[in-house]
Structure 1
Amino acid sequence: MAFVRISNMLALALAGASLTLAGCTANAPAPKSFEQAALQPYRLDSGDRLRVSVFEQPGLTNTYTVDQAGYIAFPLIGQVAARGQTMPALEGAIAAKLKQGYLRDPDVTIEVDRYRPVFVMGEVGRPGQYSYVPGMTAQNAVAIAGGFTSRGNRSDIDLTRKINGQSITGRTSVSSTVMAGDTIYVRERLF
């Protein structure tokens, strides 16, 4: 009977250890694709607010938000796919649709009016959603979120980023550049 209890306790201890180790591998260093994604042209996604200008067409020039499905609703031409597009590609898509019976030679320009937010969680003063600014680092985002708590790990963070439609999490330094839509998680220090 004592042998059964000891083997059950041993099995529970091993299960706990394997879960702990599995948790460690989930926070592997950030892959190279994190750095490469930050160097690529900006890709639009849900939550971005765009200022679209059509030369000499004040009725079409306006601010449009990329909806949850990844589209903007544009006058005359309807829904235009924006998710995953660069701004020059979206300019071309809108111009091509406007050429189809609406305008002879539309000149479309797009700029980001407001980027989708970054999310800062974990051991920070005020976890939450914050406005993204180009060139922002994880440390800047943590500062905006009230700074590190006394228990916060100040050397590295866990960063979740959408790359090619997949959410990937990796451990990176607090000086790493973040992108719009990233989630920053500050872990608790071990000691």
Structure 2
Amino acid sequence: MSFARPQHVLALALAVAVTAIAGCTSNAPAPRSFQEATVQPYRLDSGDRLRISVFEQPSLSNTYTVDQAGYIAFPLIGQVAARGQTMPALEGAIAARLRQGYLRDPDVTIEVDRYRPVFVMGEVGRPGQYSYVPGMTAQNAIAIAGGFTSRGNQRDVDVTRKINDRVITGRTTVTAPVLAGDTIYVRERLF
């Protein structure tokens, strides 16, 4: 019967601890596409409420919400695909459909009336869904959600974002910009 030396037991315990801690950090740093997405034109998705105006057509000018399927229901022309579209592209699509037997030369403009929300989870005072404001950072969203708890990691956060129809999670600094629809997760700090 052989007994392990105390140094070997300590080394084994240290190796197990390092492996366990490494397992807790499963989310890799945010890919380059995270930063690139913050400087791209805004892409519409479910939950966005749009103010659509058709020049000299008050009966068509109103607010419309992008539904869960990614469409808006527009008078005369019915369902119009909005998910993934930029506002200029959607303006063009609505104008093209209105030209097909309804209006001769429609002038359509779109503004975002209310952006889809951001979600703040984890070690924050009030986890939940919050209104997005252009230019918002993870730190702004966390402040709105009641700030960090005493156990919250204040250095970096995990952000889950939809980019080109793919949902990606990556680790970013708290000063990184967030986009409408992002989920920000504040982890518990290790020490």
Please say whether Structure 1 and Structure 2 have the same fold, judged by a TM-score greater than 0.5: yes
Task: For 1:156-167, list aligned pairs within 5 A.
Answer: 156-167=156-167
Deviation at 1:20, TM superposition (A): 6.2
Deviation per CA, 1:36-71, whole angstroms, max 9, x where unpaired?
Answer: 001100000000000000000000000000000000
Describe the SS at the equivalent of 2:72: strand
Pair 100,15 (structure 1): closer, same or farther in 2 beyond 3 Å:
farther
Question: Equivalent pairs: percent with the same residue?
Answer: 80
Residues 106-161 of structure 1 show CA distances to partners (whole Å, capped at 9, x for unaligned) of 00000000000000000000000000000000000000000000000001000000
Number of the residue aligned with 1:105: 105
TM-score, L = length of structure 1: 0.89
Aligned equivalents of 1:172 and 1:137: distance in 2? 11
What's the offset of the Cα at 1:21?
4.3
SS of 2:63's partner is strand
TM-score of the aligned structures, taking structure 2 as reference length: 0.89
List, as ranges, runs of 4+ consecutive aligned residues in structure 1 with deviation greater than 4 Å.
Answer: 14-23
SS at match of 1:89: helix
* Paired amino acid for 2:45: D
- Give the partner amino acid of 1:70: G
Q: Which residue of 1 aligns with 2:8?
A: none
Listed as ranges, the matches of 1:1-191 within 5 Å are 21-24=22-25, 26-191=26-191
Quote the Cα distance in structure 1 between the aligned partners of 2:135 and 2:51: 20
1:98 alignment partner, SS class: helix
Unaligned runs of 5+ in 2: 1-14
Query: What is the RMSD computed on CA atoms of the aligned residues?
Result: 1.7
Indicate the residue corresponding to 1:6 in structure 2.
none
When residues 75 and 189 of structure 1 are mapped into structure 2, their CA distance, relative to the original with a 3 A threshold, is same
Considering fraction of residues, name the structure with more helix.
1
Q: Distance in 2 between matches of 1:162 and 1:15?
A: 35
Please tell me the residue identity of whatever aligns with 2:51: R
Cα distance in 2 between the residues matched to 1:110 and 1:184 = 28
Rounded Cα–Cα distance in structure 2 between residues aligned with 1:156 and 1:60? 45
CA distance in 2, matches of 1:44, 1:57: 24
